[in-house]
């Protein structure tokens, strides 16, 4: 008898890779959907806004049971892309990214709705071939030196104390075991060896943490402008 939990976990991972492929094909960074929604609430109302942290968690399969609102939010974003109207966007880079983006469409050319996103999330619907991840489409994990350099660069960029940075990083990986968290902490703070199996976990944590930092910085910038 098939293991339903294993099937759903695999479906979530594939969905996350599909979502990442769609974002990258549109030339978006992980904060773009949130930034567009905030700039154009008339197109994507606040209640249907996908936050950068939420997007990162979906990409990294960290949400085990997504709420129905998640699929309504993705559908609202997709419907906005299917519309010719992109809203009044003052930021030049954001305007360029939104203008070039394409929605996910059904075979008949209509945009995916919430039921399509949900069906895809549970493994009952495959996305467009050009975006769908293949068996060998997973990104190979970077080496520890590259991941450590990325971690240090984020610490320096955001002027964080090492302990504060580590707490924030590990908070992204609440599903990790205590042993895995201690291994990552030892490798980044004390230069202890990191196993090959833990490298993809560290890469996933850095993706989510960087998205959280970007969202926090964007909020701080908006407050300063007021």
In this prediction, residues 94-104 reach a mean pLDDT of: 95
Q: What is the pLDDT of residue 226?
A: 55
Per-residue pLDDT, 1:
47
| 105 phi/psi in degrees, rounded to 5 | -115, 150
pLDDT value at residue 57: 83
Cβ pair 158, 169 in contact under 8 A: no
In the chain, how many H helices and how many E strands? Answer: 10, 0
172 close to 205: Cβ distance less than 8 angstroms: yes
Torsion over CA: 62, 64, 67, 72 (sign): positive
Residues 6+ apart with CB under 8 A from 208: 53, 56, 57, 60, 62, 172, 173
Residue 125: CB atoms within 10 A of its CB come to 15
Q: Is the pLDDT of residue 219 over 50?
A: yes
Q: What local confidence, expressed as pLDDT, does residue 139 receive?
A: 52
Domains in the chain: boundaries: 4-121, 144-225
Q: What confidence score (pLDDT) does residue 2 get?
A: 61
How far separated are the first and last CA of the chain, in Å rounded?
59
Kindly report whether the global pTM for this prediction surpasses the value 0.75: no
pLDDT tens-digit profile of 149-193? 989 999 998 999 988 999 999 999 888 888 999 999 999 998 899
Q: What is the pLDDT of residue 102?
A: 96
Separation of alpha carbons 200 and 206, rounded Å: 10
The mean of the pLDDT values for the chain is 88
Instruction: Enumerate residues 6+ apart whose C-beta is below 8 A from 188.
Output: 148, 151, 166, 169
Tens of pLDDT along 13-55? Answer: 999 999 999 998 998 888 899 999 999 999 999 999 998 888 8
């Amino acid at each position: 008898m098939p293991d339903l939990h294993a099937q759903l976990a695999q479906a979530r991972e594939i969905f996350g890779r599909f979502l990442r492929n769609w974002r990258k094909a549109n030339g978006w960074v992980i904060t773009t959907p949130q930034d567009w929604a905030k700039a154009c609430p008339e197109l994507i109302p606040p209640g249907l806004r996908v936050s950068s942290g939420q997007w990162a968690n979906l990409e990294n399969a960290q949400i085990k049971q997504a709420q129905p609102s998640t699929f309504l939010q993705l559908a609202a974003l997709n419907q906005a892309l299917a519309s010719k109207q992109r809203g009044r966007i003052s930021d030049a880079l954001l305007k360029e990214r939104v203008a070039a983006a394409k929605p996910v469409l059904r075979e008949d050319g209509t945009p995916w709705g919430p039921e399509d996103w949900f069906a895809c999330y549970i493994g009952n619907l495959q996305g467009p071939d050009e975006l769908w991840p293949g068996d060998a489409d997973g990104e190979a994990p970077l080496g520890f030196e590259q991941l450590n350099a990325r971690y240090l660069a984020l610490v320096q960029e955001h002027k964080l104390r090492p302990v504060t940075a580590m707490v924030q990083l590990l908070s992204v990986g609440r599903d990790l075991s205590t042993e895995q968290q201690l291994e990552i902490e030892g490798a980044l703070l004390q230069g202890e060896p990191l196993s090959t199996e833990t490298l993809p976990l560290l890469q996933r944590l850095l993706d989510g943490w960087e998205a959280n930092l970007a969202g926090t910085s964007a909020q701080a910038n908006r407050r300063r402008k007021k």
